[in-house]
Chains A and B, each alone.
Chain A
């Protein structure tokens, strides 16, 4: 009791001192969220929406007159939108929740796509159509055959009209959802995002760290691991180029590099305040190195490993497998640093479930 009699006044004194003293060793999460929301996340959705609008215009032009030239323009706008999409796939916030399901569930279910086209009856919102729409479906529709063959499928094939309709429906969904997400982030949601400045479940910092971890895991498993046959019992350990993102367009390398770079931008807050500053401010250490530096270096190593593979990833699986394995291990290293070290140092719960703790 005597101890408490001493301790309590000390606490009260400190409280008083805390109110007077302004210059303190604290980190302003609101400032970080303001930077990330205003300068990184919201603009990424604006950009995506403009590219999906262009995609829709090019798709309409191609549908109006299918030809090699209009297909080429459509493919360009598709690649452009797919690249810009990598900047937002990380986020799973209210205005764009589950966007990944509509946009990028790969590999595409080609049987489902063909069934939908032939029957002409489908509801793109059902679960079994998740791998039959979005960018992976476009990848299959636009790239799985030579340009002339693709044009023929849309111009002269028995199901050409239905195929055109399917293309229009998929592109329309992409554009509608991208526009809605962009509008959401430009509007009130930005304030909601900035104001949820805690670290608990549902806070913006907590969700960003979780989203970052999940996206890194997705890169490790789905963008690389599945194709190597490392992950998931289904492949039985055999390589599976078909599992790659943008397999038909042979664009998985560029998309992965873009994705990693965008995550690094989020982590560093672009030119403003980001998670690296947060970690430095609280003095997070990784065996003698600042944890922030360790993570930045690991981002660079991972991006370098992705760039170092000289051919497209489908080819690399047979010609440059050791380099693909290195890439896999570098991403894994990054996953551990973000999901374990960063989250723990920030006091953020990963994989949170609604439950009591002690």
Chain B
């Protein structure tokens, strides 16, 4: 629609061309707004709400609210979000309690709009407190809950007795497209020499699990890391296409289950992620399946729920309509989603080393990276003294900082303040995918005097790349 408006102002464009573009936009709009059964959306929302509630309960039960948001004395904020501050014990526990309620409301459909917006804002707030805790799957949850804010409400689960409502096609397509984005870019990220030609890091990770029952012995097989690397890459890149196709969707969904269950067995550390993906991928399954599922869940005394056979009215193409605004917002969202994983190309050097553009790109379990950093501050008498990082950071924060350059700079700035010094140096070693450890950043660069922004960090050593 925007295109149409721009073109209208261009006098050189002939009239038939204008109408052609307008026709294309019009039919795209008609396609996206065509009404269909809301069953996949309803099932998705119920499942997502329940999964979120369980994940939050598990998170709290493991004591992670305390460990990650109360214990730390220092928090690594995200660039541009330095204003995000932790709330203290009472505050953060309240936030989690509200999120739990919101998750249940999303599942039941009560106060849907309020609940989804609340969940999105609070979850994203919690994720922004400390980048130590950044996980692709938390980012995924933030995005899904953002999409849920925009999707039409479908009433609460008890109103389903009166029939399954209808929603425009874009509502379900948006969720499918987001799932596809995750898989596809996770697959694209695996197309690199370490992953495909050297089977790293799986060559390290798989044999280290060889004590597992049944499959343990198989994990010593030298060819296995290569097979898993290639299958994993092909799965991620291709799976969305097969999920979109009606003819292959069930096979593809079976593959989704096998893939995620396998990762859950091999890497128990990834927590809820495999199960969240298995549940969310149901959004690709046929409408009939979802309708049957809802029907069997609705009170059996009811004869049968009638799918609303309202006459489908085609909405008028208008830029100011509620729907077109939402579609434009979603178009912008998916454009950003498609571009973010490639922003690393704006930086010179090796992405795995400098990690500029690494986050928010669906780079999941992509490398084995370990590090160690010694910080030195200059004291009042001019001597350089090594800091014990553990005096300021939790073990989890130390671990994440040991491999990520931007966190080292943030910690250096913190040391500058707490030690009231003008000079802070970092002697940092990292190993990536089994390569011998190397100095990561120039130990002679005074990090206290360096400004950090989104431009290239030239204090990261080229020799490490």
- Which residues in A have some Cβ–Cβ distance to B below 8 Å? 1, 3-4, 7-8, 10-11, 14-15, 17-19, 24-27, 29-30, 197-200, 221, 225, 229-233, 235-237, 282, 284-287, 291, 294, 332, 335-337, 339-341, 343-358
Contacts and interface: CB of A to CB of B under 8 A. Distances in A.
Contacts of A339: 370, 372
Given A225-B386, A354-B67, 16 more contacts: A4-B231, A15-B218, A25-B220, A30-B211, A198-B209, A200-B268, A285-B434, A332-B374, A336-B437, A337-B437, A340-B370, A353-B394, A355-B64, A356-B272, A357-B269, A358-B273
B383 A26 contact: no
Contacts of A225: 386
Give the interface centre of B234, B269, B272, B379 by most chain A CB atoms within 10 Å.
B269
A343 B399 CA distance: 13
Interface string B416-445: 000100000000011100111100000000
A8 B251 CA distance: 12
Given A18-B218, A237-B381, A287-B436, A1 B251 contact: yes
A221 B387 CA distance: 10
A346 B436 contact: no
Given A344-B434, A356-B272, A358-B136, A18 B386 contact: no
9 contacts: A1-B251, A26-B217, A198-B209, A200-B268, A225-B386, A336-B429, A344-B204, A354-B63, A358-B365
Contacts of A230: 385-386
A285 B433 CA distance: 11
A4 B217 contact: no
Given A231-B388, A341-B431, A353-B396, A285 B242 contact: no
Interface in B123-170: 133, 135-137
A173 to B, nearest CB: 27
B interface bracket (residues with beta carbon within 8 Å of A): 35 or more
Nearest to A348: B208
A344 B370 contact: yes
Contacts of B137: 356, 358
Nearest to A281: B207
Nearest to A30: B211
A337 to B, nearest CB: 7
B355 to A, nearest CB: 15
Interface of B: 62-64, 67-68, 133, 135-137, 204-205, 207-212, 215, 217-218, 220-224, 227, 230-231, 234-235, 238, 242, 248, 251-252, 255, 258, 267-273, 364-365, 368-372, 374, 377, 379-381, 383-388, 394-396, 398-399, 402, 419, 429-431, 434-437
B372 A340 contact: yes
A132 to B, nearest CB: 22
Contacts of A17: 221
A167 to B, nearest CB: 33
Nearest to B434: A345
A10 B64 CA distance: 41
A22 to B, nearest CB: 9
A229 B381 CA distance: 12
A309 B364 CA distance: 49
Contacts of A10: 227
B43 to A, nearest CB: 23
A70 to B, nearest CB: 41
A27 to B, nearest CB: 7
A355 to B, nearest CB: 6
B217 A1 contact: no
A282 B431 contact: no
A236 B419 CA distance: 12
B238 A3 contact: yes
Contacts of B398: 351
Contact of A7 (B231, B370, B396, B437): B231
A282 B207 contact: yes
Contacts of B381: 236-237
B393 to A, nearest CB: 10
A51 B2 CA distance: 86
B204 A340 contact: no
Contacts of A337: 437
Nearest to A225: B386
A116 B208 CA distance: 50
A276 to B, nearest CB: 16
A347 B383 contact: no
Nearest to A346: B208
A343 B437 CA distance: 11
A346 B210 CA distance: 12
B461 to A, nearest CB: 15
List the 6 closest A-B pairs by CB distance, nearest first: A237-B383, A26-B220, A347-B208, A356-B271, A344-B370, A287-B436
A229 B385 contact: yes
B211 A197 contact: yes
A284 B235 CA distance: 29
A346 B370 CA distance: 11
B189 to A, nearest CB: 12
A352 B395 contact: yes
Given A231-B385, A353-B67, A356-B135, A341 B436 contact: yes
Contact of B251 (A4, A197, A231): A4
Contacts of A26: 207, 210, 217, 220
Contact of B379 (A19, A233, A286): A233
A293 to B, nearest CB: 12
Contact of B207 (A4, A27, A332): A27
Contact of A358 (B364, B372, B387): B364
A320 to B, nearest CB: 20
A25 to B, nearest CB: 5
A247 B63 CA distance: 42
Given A7-B231, A198-B209, A344-B204, A351 B399 contact: yes
